[in-house]
Amino acid sequence: MTTYAAPLRDMRFVLHEVLEAADTLTALPGFADASADLMDAVLDECAKLCEGVLFPINRVGDEVGCTFKDGVVTTPPGFKEAYKQYAEGGWCGLTASPEYGGQGLPETLDYLVSEMIGSANMSIGLYPGLTQGTILALAALGTPEQKKIYLPKLVGGTWQGTMCLTEAHAGSDLGLLRTKAVPNGDGSYSITGTKIFISAGEHDMAENHVHLVLARLPDAPEGSRGISMFLVPKFLPKEDGSPGARNAAVAGSIEHKMGLKASVTCVMNFDGAKGWLVGQAHKGLAGMFVMMNKERLFVGSQGISQAETAYQSAAAYARDRLQGRSADGVAKPDKPADPIIVHPDIRNRLMFSRAIVEAERALAVWTHLNVDIAHKHADAATRQHAEDMVGLMTPIVKAAGTDFGSEITNTCMQVFGGHGYIREHGMEQLVRDVRISQIYEGTNAIQALDLVGRKLGIEQGRLFKGWLSEVEATIKGLESRNDMGEFIAPLKEAVARLTAVTLWMTEESANDPNARGAAAVDYLRLFALTAFAWIWVRMVDTAMAAKASHNDPFYDAKIEVGRYFMKRVLPQTVGLDAVIRAGSTTMMTLPEAAF
């Protein structure tokens, strides 16, 4: 069986010591009560829910999965009861406005909650996770009547939301979608079409489902400029807000998947279903990105969450599993063999996993802190800078979080040897479950193209320059300290390398139309590792200061893991630089017929 205990100590270190988030948050309008004590209390309660309720049903969810019969989806044993407890605890509305029954807490806190839920049970966490995006979209774009009817139900968790974008022939190219929306003459529309890969499209845990559907009006221009967004409920609400007549939005089947088997994925058929326009006509794609950006950060948390559970499970196994003897002397003379944690390869796998997970977590919390600043800060320039940082980091958090999530679950499964490959220990489930996170909400190649093709190009690199200013401020404040030299020097080298290859890529793309596409995935990894180095410098600096006044081995361990990252992980950027500069020729010259 896998092992999971909420990493509250590390979460609080990042939240309170490294980022001092409470000071920033309580100064923002609407967050005066978001004190460190309040956030700690929320984290404690979430940990109890995750460890005591959600984690114990994770395995049965995988083994039983969701079943489909006559358009009805039944979730695995224990899921309805667990979700009811989740909803009644107010977790669905953690960040939603109190106007609609939410708690109005920061996105910074919500990230840590999402990570814990994902670590405990990624499948069940996906159901309410998608609803968060629906809430955001309706809060931003819905009519007063739509907000009044739907938001309290979604925030309370009795109704759940979905995103209905993908069609079989279109995939990620939404400009090709064919679903139609015809005006009914009474302000509603008749929606007809089929959507695939719809997470939580139908199930038995909520009394109603609220689908946000992308479709084309009769006068719509071609391509992505002709897409509108519509609200299509499973049951049409009565005047009192309760579910009424059944709408013509029905699950035609469910997908049989590699992983996440307790999270249902549906083919949804809309056969003249009644729906209502959300936002402006032909502006649906922009409206959908209100929720997509939230969901992309959420998916990044899923990658981090699975890596955390994999690391904890592998570390526990490595301490107990006896195999061979230590190369530098017998470690356990009273036992027939030493635990495998004495072996360098096992140590390396565990250290790599921990170094990446802790950096990813810190970078994700920093990104979400900027989400809150962008939403709430009184100063327009401060809001813009924070929004820039969120825009730049969203593809990195999503893609790096999930790429490394898949890599770490695999490397931790390797710690178990043959036992990792069989179901008994649960490691193969982590490998299967996390794999989808590299694909949905925009594949990681699309995230990389968004980074190099759009984010870097905004106003001659404004976003990149804004992030560099943050990094340079850190370097300037610490480079004169002898105790930080071994951390600052590799950071400076990595930043210089990233800056140089960014300039090279910009120049190369002027002559080679394939240059950005060829470099994108490797460039995102290079950027992510450099960003991790920056956040590790901040964590090590904080740990050194705390160590001076606290005799706590936590800080010693933090410094050692940071040192490992700088010496054994960050050097990957040298190879990535070389690969990127190889250009597109070697991958593009082979004739198509030769494949």
- DSSP-assigned states of every residue in 565-579: IIIIITTHHHHHHHH
Residue 417 backbone class (left: φ over 0; alpha: ψ -120 to 50; beta: rest):
left
449: Cβ–Cβ under 8 A, 6 or more apart, which residues? 516, 517, 520
Percent composition of the chain: helix, strand, coil (DSSP 3-state, to 5) = 60, 10, 25
> Are 18 and 11 in contact, with CB atoms under 8 Å apart?
no
Beta carbons of 157 and 93 less than 8 angstroms apart: yes
Q: Which residues contact 556 (CB under 8 A, 6 or more apart)?
A: 543, 547
Distance CA 133, CA 199 (A): 13
Q: Is 239 assigned a catalytic role?
A: no
Instruction: Please answer whether residues 297 and 372 qualify as being in contact, where contact means their C-beta atoms are separated by less than 8 angstroms.
Output: no
* Torsions phi, psi for 267 (to 5 deg): -90, 120
Say if residues 400 and 572 touch (Cβ distance below 8 Å). Answer: no
The sign of the CA dihedral 415, 418, 421, 426 is negative
Amino acid 437 reads S
The count of C-alpha atoms lying within 13 angstroms of the C-alpha of 18, restricted to the half-sphere facing its C-beta, is 28
Token pair in block for residue 171: 């995939």
Residue found under tokens 């009817």:
149
- CA distances 217 to 153, 181, 192, 211, 531, Å, are 28, 5, 11, 17, 43
What SS3 state is found at 338? coil
The C-alpha angle with vertex 65 and arms to 60 and 70, in degrees rounded to 5, equals 140
CA distances from 405 to 352, 457, 592 (A): 12, 28, 33
Q: Are 419 and 284 in contact (CB under 8 A)?
A: no
C-alpha 519/C-alpha 521 separation (Å) is: 6
Instruction: State how far the Cα of 509 lies from the Cα of 513, in Å rounded to an integer.
Output: 6
Q: What are phi and psi of 103, to 5 degrees?
A: -95, -10
In sequence order, the β-bridge partners of residue 164 are 213
- Could you give the angle at which helices 344-376 and 553-564 cross, rounded to 10 degrees? 100
Which residues fall within 8 angstroms of residue 12, CB to CB, at 6 or more apart? 40, 43
Find tokens 């996105």 and name the residue: 107
CA distances from 327 to 321, 338, 504 (A): 17, 10, 46
Q: How far apart are CA 543 and CA 11, in angstroms?
A: 14
The structure tokens listed for 237 are: 């609400």
Tokens found for residue 330: 């017998």
Give the whole-angstrom CA distance, residue 43 versus residue 72: 35
Q: Which of 428, 441, 479, 508 is catalytic?
A: 441
Q: Which of 182, 184, 163, 183 is nearest to 174 (CA)?
A: 163
State the catalytic residues: 441
